Chain A
């Protein structure tokens, strides 16, 4: 009967406009790389004073309808491997369910600063490791001079595809891979677990499908939208049962992100395949810096560090600046590569696509 004992912020007009704008850019990024809007949205909401767990819950609630719209649109361009998405999503759902439980326990035991610290640390560790790897790969492809071609299958993926485990093999036609589900299960689980913590499972899901299973970047990023829908849906139910979804935040984000995701989807049809990796790595690494800067702030709130209030304020401002930088960088790379793709393409942007 009682609403959850949680602080919901008073929404000012400035906050609404900011949520709409970051929703738009987040949607643009999600439509383009299949995930990733949330790694900007969660910290941005936290910067406005929204508690970490409410930011994640509201983010998930705006994510699944956005992913549904994005997957529907990208399926029109033949990018979505629905079967791979659903198989990954089954184990991702288990991961997201368990992750939400962990989040809930941390909040109960360590309070608000503990929850914020947990979310921020997860951001820093995952984004630095995976973002660094994706950036290294993107630079390698660019230097090789084969950026126009579809990506080569990694050595790991070639091995995974060569392993024959009778009774577990599945063929994913759109991604053009045949692998054992025993490889997709842990990958999906890790995707779901990460999604429940920082609302962005795609930072394991998309690189995992590319480098572990051997799916092309365009297919992996679009298929992630199917997983994102299932995870977002499951995660929202879980958080809603605890009364943690701030529906106002979710719907305002959705207002902007549905504009953005449709533009991001269109953008994927105008760029070279490796641009997906460039955008993904650039944003991941900048957001990692942003969240890393506020870790000492949360440690001070937990009594583990002793920073002056002025230093804490400075770190929070610097964190926000890096966040805005990540947003702008992603948006600018996507729009610029769309324009470049449009210039070199044979078909003008304003001409209707052939039916």
Chain B
């Protein structure tokens, strides 16, 4: 029997991921200015952002392929 698809998780992770990308779009200039500063802890910002986006958007994309029905074959 087919397991139920993770629609709630897809929607929740999609909202989080979408919100983060919306913020990037709205505050593009401010973000670029802050993220290219070389003093203090500013150089850590790109690394932190990459992790945050990978967890949120990574979860969304995993649920996406699961909902679409494409899964790997375990040998």
Tell yes or no: B49 within 8 A of A by CB: yes
Interface segment, one of A123-131, A139-147, A303-311, A344-352? A344-352
Tell yes or no: B11 within 8 A of A by CB: no
How many chain-A residues does the 8 Å CB contact rule pick out? 50
Contact of B71 among A68, A245, A250, A266 (CB under 8 A): A266
A154 CA to B37 CA, complexed, in Å: 48
Min CB gap A230→B, angstroms: 13
A265 CA to B38 CA, complexed, in Å: 36
Central interface residue in B3, B24, B61, B65, by most chain A CB within 10 Å: B61
Min CB gap B73→A, angstroms: 4
Contact of B50 among A250, A259, A350 (CB under 8 A): A250
A268 CA to B75 CA, complexed, in Å: 11
Tell yes or no: A77 within 8 A of B by CB: yes
Q: Indicate with 1 or 0, residue by residue over A238-265, a CB within 8 angstroms of chain B CB atoms.
A: 0011111111101100110011001101
- Chain B residues proximal to chain A, CB less than 8 Å: 2-3, 21, 24, 28, 31-33, 35-39, 43-47, 49-51, 53-54, 57-58, 60-62, 64-65, 69-75
- Chain A residues proximal to chain B, CB less than 8 Å: 1-4, 6, 8, 11, 61-62, 64-66, 68-69, 73, 76-77, 233, 236-237, 240-248, 250-251, 254-255, 258-259, 262-263, 265-266, 268-270, 345, 347, 349-354
Chosen A-B contacts, 14 in total, with CB atoms closer than 8 Å, are A1-B38, A61-B50, A73-B62, A77-B75, A247-B35, A247-B45, A247-B46, A250-B46, A254-B50, A259-B65, A262-B62, A266-B65, A269-B73, A352-B2
